[in-house]
């Protein structure tokens, strides 16, 4: 597998860990001194930071484990990323990708079964977030790790206590 694909897989593992609310798996993708910052769009090409940055894999693990709400029964999220732009220079890489987060809500199966004539997936899927991931990585002992990660949201975000 080439380095470009390995870098892209770091982001794939990141979004899957987010969807599973797996702080340990997500934190393992970052260096101990990584900086993670969420930004919201303030103009066509401008963003402002929201909240305090997270520091290191331990900070990411703590935030995912303690601040991301669990999915409700029958609920899930599904991140998709696209249009990956990856630049590699030796042991350093930069990745920029678009993302959309979908909220998934499974319908509860009726106690007496689905009504006659009902077929297909039962529930709803709707987009709830979009933006860009702007990520710097470094190869350490042969493994790509995130050193700086900016989440650039297209919409405002409300954080507890803000």
> Over the chain (162 residues), what is each successive 10-residue block's mean pLDDT?
94 97 97 96 91 94 92 94 97 98 94 90 94 98 97 87 59
Provide the terminal-to-terminal Cα distance of the chain, rounded to the nearest Å.
44
Give the fold, CATH level 3, of 3-106+122-153: Nuclear Transport Factor 2; Chain: A, (3.10.450)
Q: What is the model's pTM?
A: 0.91
Domain ranges of the chain: 3-106+122-153
How distant, in Å, are the alpha carbons of 60, 63, 65, 66 from that of 24? Answer: 8, 10, 8, 12
State the pLDDT at residue 1.
Answer: 79
Quote the CA–CA distance of 23 and 47 in Å, as a whole number: 26
């Amino acid at each position: 597998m080439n380095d470009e694909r390995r870098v892209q897989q770091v982001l794939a593992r990141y979004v899957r860990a987010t969807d599973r609310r797996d702080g340990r798996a997500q934190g393992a993708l970052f260096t101990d001194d990584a900086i993670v910052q969420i930004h919201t769009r303030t103009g066509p090409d401008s963003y402002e930071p929201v909240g305090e940055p997270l520091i290191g894999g331990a900070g990411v693990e703590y935030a995912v484990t303690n601040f991301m709400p669990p999915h409700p029964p029958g609920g899930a999220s599904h991140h998709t990323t696209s249009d990956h732009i990856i630049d590699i220079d030796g042991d350093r890489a930069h990745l920029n990708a678009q993302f959309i987060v979908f909220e998934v809500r499974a319908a509860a199966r009726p106690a007496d079964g689905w009504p006659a004539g009902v077929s297909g997936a039962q529930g709803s899927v709707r987009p709830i977030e979009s933006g860009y991931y702007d990520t710097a990585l470094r190869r350490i002992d042969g493994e790509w790790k995130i050193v700086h990660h900016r989440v650039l949201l297209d919409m405002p975000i409300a954080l507890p206590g803000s």
